[in-house]
Structure 1
Amino acid sequence: MQVEPLAIPDVLLVTPRVFGDHRGFFLETWQAERFAEVGIPDRFVQDNHSRSSQGVLRGLHYQIQQPQGKLVRVVRGEIFDVAVDLRRSSPHFGQWVGAALSEENHRMLWVPPGFAHGFVVTSESADLLYKCSDFYAPEHERTLRWDDPEVAIEWPLPEGVEPVLSEKDLAGVTLDRAEVYS
């Protein structure tokens, strides 16, 4: 597999080896020893599956306690996946990185603890699966505003098109008001 640190080096883009022929394909989506060698922990406690329609934007979510690392992959469709560094002690605090994940490219994004995570669906619909390094704790969940001008994420939305958001995501706070990590 290929592992590419993004502009924030703790966020990793993983491209697995895909073996394919006229019957289909095979790839390893998780192998504890190989992933541990590149800095992705070998302990995950929860797997999630999310399906969304085109234009749905989910995020930017994080847990202020019990922070979750997430290994994200798409099994149907395509998304633009984003991680925002919320570690005040990081030289990348408040910066974001993103990558296109799709059923065709088989890429995975490792979003470590200490980051807000979100995505927008760029295909007709998308199914994504992600492993979490800690349990979901709704009492500790926070939402960073998806369109915070200070973070300035370049979401791949058609000009003049607003994303489809949940009430929770509409109520997200800007970075200057967000609870962050030390």
Structure 2
Amino acid sequence: MGRTRTGKARVAAMFAAALAVGIAMQPAGALALTLKEATTVVDLIEALEPQLGDFAYDDEIAEYWFEEDSYGEGWIAKAGFTAETWNRALGETMRGFMALMPDAEVEATFAGLKQGIEALPQLTEAQKAEALAAIDEEIASFLARRAEGEPFAPIVKPLEDRLRRLTLDEAE
């Protein structure tokens, strides 16, 4: 009987350790984004675009929008965000959206960018090579953000169409 309990205790300890490792390996804040928070982020982007211009996500946009909004109505702060929580929520929402994008769409977009550069007659071969290298860096950055967004994709999924209209449809 003692062996059975020891075996069960060992299995329970291994399960607890595996669970702890799994939680520890989650990206920082992976469990933090909620649908309510992501919806508020999208609502704010829609509301603030007329004043702040078309939304295009990058590393600096959260800080810029928070600061610019603070000079006006302060909608982001009124929604309960600090500069830090806005940056996190916006980043997690957008990375979750990136993770939802089909591989074929991502590949076609980047292939189109590269083809466009290759077709520019005014660029020298050296300039084309430099531009293509810059695009390769952007691709690597995008793919890293996309991978970081996997935990947020299920949360952001109900907002996918709205995010697409705010970001991709306007770029086309």
> Taking structure 1 as the reference length, what is the TM-score of the superposition?
0.23
Indicate the structure with greater helix content. Answer: 2
Report which of the two structures shows the higher radius of gyration computed on alpha carbons.
Answer: 2
Q: Which has the higher contact order (CA 8 A, sep 6+)?
A: 2
Give the structure with the higher percent strand. 1
